[in-house]
Amino acid sequence: MLTIAVPKGRILEEANILLRQSGIINKEVQETRKLILEDVDDGIRFILAKPQDVPTYVRYGVADVGIVGKDVLLEEGEGFYELMDLGIGLCRLSICSKPGKTCQRGELPRVATKYPKVTANYFREKGEQVEIIKLNGSVELAPLLGLSHYIVDIVSTGQTLEENGLVELEVIAHVSCRLIVNQTMFHLKNSVIEELVSKLEAGIQI
């Protein structure tokens, strides 16, 4: 049985469509309170996890493969192989702020984000010094409450930004979901994983 770790929510909805049109599953993976689901007929076990935890499950071999956004891989990406771009979960990682928000002279810009590593690398490459504030949720609150001048967060439709009076300033990276695999299982279950990749490649073309 092949074990796949997949995030709950919107990505699971899009993954269901891709997995079905690829002929990998015959029925949708239902998001319930149960976090481990076995599809005996298709020989697949699903682990429903938070996006940030998917690489960890794959890295330690709890899951053979995982479906996860490139944003998470940029922050957590090591200890596994990235096999392919699945073309789902499309969004972007961007710098956002309140319109016209600027820092006072001599003031160190503060950036709130769930992605401290990516954010630090980005500003370092630009030669800019900032203070990074790590938040785990509702990052949009930070500039509204004066905690930060900017945020770095995922933007999809931009509706959440608009509703909170924020604007997108600059795109750091375009994001889509990737298929990752445990390094050991890539060799031990190579034929099964190669078949999975082939089916997904065909499904993407539909």
CATH of span 91-174 = 3.40.190.10
Q: Give the tens place of pLDDT for each residue, 83-117.
A: 999 999 999 999 999 998 667 677 899 999 999 99
Which is nearest to 154 in space by CA: 181, 136, 174, 129?
174
Sort strands 44-49 and 2-7 into parallel, antiparallel or unpaired. Answer: parallel
In whole numbers, what is the pLDDT of the chain averaged over residues?
93
Between 33 and 71, where is the model more confident? Answer: 71
Between 138 and 200, where is the model more confident? Answer: 200
Q: 68 pLDDT band (50/70/90 cuts)?
A: very high
Domain locations in the chain as residue ranges: 2-89+176-205, 91-174
pTM, two decimals, is: 0.90
Residue 102 confidence (pLDDT): 67
Q: Which CATH number fits domain 2-89+176-205: 3.40.50.300, 3.40.50.970, 2.40.50.140, 3.40.190.10?
A: 3.40.190.10
Q: Give the tens place of pLDDT for each residue, 138-189.
A: 899 999 999 999 999 999 999 999 999 999 999 999 999 999 999 999 999 9
